[in-house]
Amino acid sequence: MPHEADIPEIRQIFLSATAQDCKTYREAVRNFIHGNIEAAKVFLQEDWAEGGNFVEPVCKRKVDECDAYMGLFGYRYGWTPPLQRRSITELEFRWAVDRWGTGEAPLFVLRPVPGSEADRHLRDQAAVFHDKLSPVDAEADRAAQRAFLASVDQWASDGRIQVFYNDSTQLLGKALCCIKNWDQAVLRKASRSRFEAPGTIPDSELGQIGRGAQVDALSAALEALRERRAERAAAFLIHGPENHGQLEFVEFLRNWHDEWDGMDIRCGQADEPDSAESLICWACSQLGEPLLGEPTIDGLAGLLATRLASRSVVLILRTVGREARRLALFQQRFWQPLHAALAARPPGGRGRLYCFITDHEALADPPEAGFRTDDLDADDLDYRHILALPPLGPIAARDVRSWLKDLRKNAGISLDEDTRDAIATYATTPDGAPPNVYNRLNLHGFWSRAR
């Protein structure tokens, strides 16, 4: 019988809504859940206001700390923090989606049925605040909210359930049911798992299959960088044909604890990855230190220099963008200026910046100027360049066999040679593209033997 894990019941709920127009509904939901689930705690923004701190990092930290997210969306877009392109309400939703990722997740979206009593109430409340704005600003807020709600619909288009209600009474009942039903499902699943553990393999584990060339090249490059005391930053490119395991390799890097021990690791993507300004805002928000004023490379370099005085920072971007010249734009508009700005500041510690960017296309051969593809530990390296790891390629049966053999020490799974051969052959036939390999490995269910 596998070791029992903590049961992820919902006890702390992050309730996200524009505060003023949704005031009546959001407070009613909080009070009703508190009155019916003894151990539950619903957090509204005013519950954790911290004097002297910026709203954005405080809200993000609270999303990360809670067991569930509940979005109550009306018809007002609301306040947008400085240097951001999204309102705080939309940012909270994005943070929750990023935190829990795909699959089943405790993300509950509550919206009024069009034309219902609740719909009219929320429209009327939004109008009260729109009437205080200029016509141009009011229409901009309404347009931004329509775009946000459309993006929520897109997020839910893979079959996720959005909860619609007609009036306040139905809202309270459905909000409570979201929490109750989730907890009951968790309890049933926990009972079953005493006899049958899940067989899904973590992406961070899958990401290392057949990636010895990439890991070896990166390890050598990191050791070379650390020997060069004057160098403060390096950027690395993860690349390969589309759907060749980029996201799984990113998760491996993110969880590479032996390498990043004691470092500040941040992984995600900017709102507009092709924009240097958006990249600056993303990096600052990840550091929990929003810039004051315009987003500039020099401002980001100042924040980084302060952080690097105490520890190294690892920034991992899941995508470098969509523009045809995305790699050149990143190198010319973001990386080169940032590298120069950091080099110009007096050294204040031994911390380094390790920046990783991910592209879902193989790097051109030969690469553009400003990219290095070989000898990433050579003495003649120019760290203003992007250091491209070997491209991600198809996974062969021998890669899977080698990984399966190592599982005994990594995950406590022991498989005999015949079993390893059978799994490796099945996983890599007929198509060696990594997504098929990963899916087929999960279908075997052997990961349930992990302890």
Give per-residue pLDDT as tens, 200-226: 888 889 999 999 999 999 999 999 998
Assess whether pLDDT exceeds 90 at residue 264.
no
Assess whether pLDDT exceeds 90 at residue 183.
no
Start-to-end Cα distance in the chain: 9
Q: Count CB-CB contacts under 10 A for residue 407.
A: 19
- What are the tens digits of pLDDT across the range 318-377? 999 888 899 999 999 999 999 999 998 877 678 899 999 999 999 988 888 899 999 999
Assess whether pLDDT exceeds 70 at residue 32.
yes
| Domain 12-193 is found in CATH 3.40.50.10140 | yes
Residues shown for the chain: 451
SS3 115: coil
Torsion on CA atoms 283, 287, 292, 296, rounded to nearest 10: -30
- Per CATH, the number for 206-388 is 3.40.50
Assess whether pLDDT exceeds 80 at residue 48.
no
* Over residues 144-154, mean pLDDT: 92
Angstrom distances, CA of residue 286 to CA of 141, 261, 344, 363, 435? 26, 18, 23, 28, 29
pLDDT at 222: 94
Assess whether pLDDT exceeds 50 at residue 6.
no
Assess whether pLDDT exceeds 70 at residue 150.
yes
Chain region(s) in the chain for CATH 3.40.50.10140: 12-193
SS3 431: coil
Assess whether pLDDT exceeds 80 at residue 102.
no
pLDDT, greater one: 97 or 446 = 97
The type of residue at 280 is: I
pLDDT interval class at 307 (50, 70, 90): confident
The bridge status of strand 371-372 relative to strand 353-358 is: unpaired
- What are the tens digits of pLDDT across the range 384-431? 999 999 999 999 999 999 999 888 777 778 888 998 899 999 888 877
- What are the tens digits of pLDDT across the range 57-98? 888 888 988 989 999 999 999 998 887 889 999 999 999 998
pLDDT interval class at 53 (50, 70, 90): low
pLDDT, greater one: 170 or 409 = 170
* Over residues 304-330, mean pLDDT: 90
Question: Which among 407, 373, 377 has a CA at the least distance from the CA of 390?
Answer: 373
Angstrom distances, CA of residue 431 to CA of 116, 397, 413, 420, 428? 51, 11, 26, 18, 6
